[in-house]
Amino acid sequence: MNKNVLITGGAGFIGSNLALKLIELGNKVTVLDNLSPQIHGDNPELSPLYCSIKDKVNFIRGTVESRDDWLAALAGIDTVVHLAAETGTGQSMYQIKRYSDVNIGGSAILLDLIANEPHSITKMVIASSRSIYGEGKYLCEQHGVIYPIARNDEDMKAADFNVKCPICSTNVELLATDEESKIHPSSIYGVTKQVQEQMFMITGQSTGIPTVSLRFQNVYGAGQSLSNPYTGILSIFSTRIKNGNDINIFEDGLESRDFIYIDDVVESIILSIFKKEANYQTFNVGSGVCTNVLTVAETLKSVYSSNSKILVSGNYRVGDIRHNFADLTSIKSKLGFEPKVDFVSGIKKFTSWVNGQKVQADLYENSIAEMKEKGLYK
């Protein structure tokens, strides 16, 4: 059955790819997006992401902070995929009101309309984040499975970046984080995503609208913004390299993330929209494999045949986690989801695309200067 789908943030990286796939499958798509310069550059109307969808969707340039924009976007819609959000972990630590207004406030307007106004919505999908887990799930030899608190600033200053048991303070072993793991975000961004997810799931239950929450790991791939210095480590490193600049690796370079290719993320959303088994469920979405940051930098330098230096500096950001990778047991068993693009294949696709793009201005140092000024970069 074809659907009328509203994608908020639908001109962004995930949203534009999702829109094109839904259209390919015969669905009608409306996009609500503010074309943020941070994502789309100084001339958003020329953004490749926006241009890829502008003549194929019902496009509404607006903001999730506006009740009127929501009302215009929801007309005739049966499925809402809510992707619009401020997303930089580091930036969230000093733009607290902005992140709260957009991520929590914007969601509140939608859910308030659903609870109080006539509508035709029969399904909601909310983009959550692995950031809600904070440091995630670990194993202590003495105390078993534990969920560590944020790392100690004193240890970090002494270049001890390891995660510790909150009971005995010994180093602990990383485990895959499942959906039942403790939720205790270590950044403002993580807090907003936690609240956003819970608001959607509660409203979905109370109104009888099947709702699905997807906790995304680090999404990357061809088409992601190369001009945003606040989020997307592969794009940030690529833009540094393309400008002939060196790469500063935080901590000791062994911090790791679960990188999932955009095509697999789109597939997870499609399954969530169309499969009844997804209703009222929360799923991790990742590759299930962790890759350290030093490996990412070295791989990109090699593929681009770059002379940029890789500097492992020992610097760190307040709010960053050490590791995290997803346990995919639930989404595999309930939805039949299986990541198809491994990291090596994904990097080839991504870098091949980057090589065909205009080199973007490198604004990374500006973002670091902002964090230094706020005492969040050390």
Question: pLDDT by residue (tens digit) across 291-300?
Answer: 999 999 999 9
Round to whole Å and give the CA distance between 66 and 326.
34
CA dist 327 and 368 (Å) reads 32
Q: How far is CA 151 from CA 162, 165, 238, 319, in A?
A: 8, 10, 29, 9
DSSP codes of every residue in 311-378? EE----BTT--S---B--HHHHHHH-------HHHHHHHHHHHHTTSPPPP--HHHHHHHHHHTT-B-
Which H helix or E strand runs over 24? helix 13-24
User: What confidence category does residue 319 fall into, taking pLDDT thresholds of 50, 70 and 90?
Assistant: confident
| Order of strands across the sheet that contains 173-174 | 144-146, 138-140, 173-174
At a CB cut-off of 8 Å and minimum separation 6, what does 53 contact? 10, 11, 16, 19, 20, 29, 31, 59
* Whole-angstrom Cα Rg for the chain: 20
* Predicted pLDDT at 84: 97
Domain 4-137+176-373 belongs in CATH node 3.40.50.720? yes
Residue 288: both structure tokens together: 């299930």
pLDDT exceeds 80 at position 1: no
Residue, of 359 and 300, whose pLDDT is higher? 300
Domain boundaries, the chain: 4-137+176-373, 138-175
> Bigger pLDDT: 269 or 373?
269
Retrieve residue 230's tokens: 């606040």
Amino acid at 337: F
pLDDT in the model for residue 374: 87
> Do residues 152 and 242 touch, judged by C-beta distance below 8 A?
no
Q: What is the pLDDT of residues 150-194, one digit of tens each?
A: 898 999 999 999 999 999 999 999 999 999 999 999 999 999 999
pLDDT in tens, 106-130: 999 999 999 999 999 999 999 999 9
pLDDT (0 to 100) of residue 99: 97
For 7, the token pair is 């994608």
pLDDT tier at 277 (50, 70, 90 boundaries)?
A: very high
Mean pLDDT of all residues belonging to the chain? 95
> Helices 188-207 and 106-116 meet at what angle, rounded to 10?
10
| Six token digits for residue 63 | 């903001």
Q: Which of 42-46, 214-218, 367-371 has the lowest mean pLDDT?
A: 42-46
- Res. 46: pLDDT tops 90: no
- Cα 169 to Cα 131, 173, 183: the distances in Å are 23, 12, 20
Distance between CA 366 and CA 78 in Å, rounded?
42
What's CA 54's distance to the chain center, in Å?
A: 23
* Average pLDDT of the segment spanning 136-162: 95
Cβ atoms 171, 224 nearer than 8 A: no
Q: Residue 224 in contact with residue 278, Cβ under 8 Å?
A: no
Burial of 133 (0-12, 13-18, 19+ CB in 10 A): buried
Encode pLDDT of 210-255 as tens digits: 999 999 999 999 989 888 888 889 999 999 999 999 999 999 999 9
Residue 88 in tokens: 């930089």
